[in-house]
Structure 1
Amino acid sequence: MNKNNYMNKKELIRQLVDETGFKEREVSITLDCLLCAIMKELASDHSLVLQNFGTFRSVWQVERPGRNPKTGEPKTIPSRYTVKFRPGNAFLKALNEDK
């Protein structure tokens, strides 16, 4: 993992290569296809449920007032779609095993 305490896409690909023995190119293509499929499903206003992992769903956020954090100037945040993720029970259990 890099010094920023997060894993980037390239590091994820390397880890999957090490764990599966597949070629880096194959893993990269597979990951890109997976991410594209997730985005297409959410863009068509569907939820995506990955058993034992969690649920992704698109949510419409209405226009709302906000502020520029640097200047404090009032600003309207436009309405838009965003993504919500709810982890599954197995995910939460694995996340909290060592705690």
Structure 2
Amino acid sequence: MSGVSMNRTDLKNAVAEKAGLTGTDADKAVAAVIDSIAEALVAGDKVTIPGFGTFETRHRAARQGRNPQTGESMEIAASTSAAFKPGSDLKRRLSDA
């Protein structure tokens, strides 16, 4: 799928085809993987998939920013977000593409 965005249905269909699963079973598998990663991140854990990469949370401290419409200074609240760091095998595959 070069240059095209893959959505959840596309992912489910690809998993079904590659793993020889029914669409329903593939959808359950995709949902289970996504839920498991999300639950681990909420708990503050890292999820490492060797060769693919690492999912982790990153904390951003509160900081001063500017409202782009008015130019007024404003406080941006601290936040936590999910981050992904690709593994060496994935990096190599991407650079070979």
> TM-score of the superposition, structure 1-length normalised?
0.83
Identity %: 22
Return 5+ residue gaps in structure 2 as ranges.
none
Q: Which amino acid aligns with 2:15?
A: L
In structure 2, the residue matched to 1:63 is 62
Return 5+ residue gaps in structure 1 as ranges.
none
Asked if residue 84 in structure 1 is aligned to residue 73 in structure 2, the reply is no
Matched residues in 2 for 1:85 and 1:18: separation? 26
CA RMSD of aligned residues (A): 1.8
Which aligned segments of 4 or more residues in structure 1 are displaced greater than 3 angstroms? Answer: 72-75
Matched residues in 2 for 1:8 and 1:31: separation? 12
> TM-score of the superposition, structure 2-length normalised?
0.84
In structure 1, the residue matched to 2:5 is 6
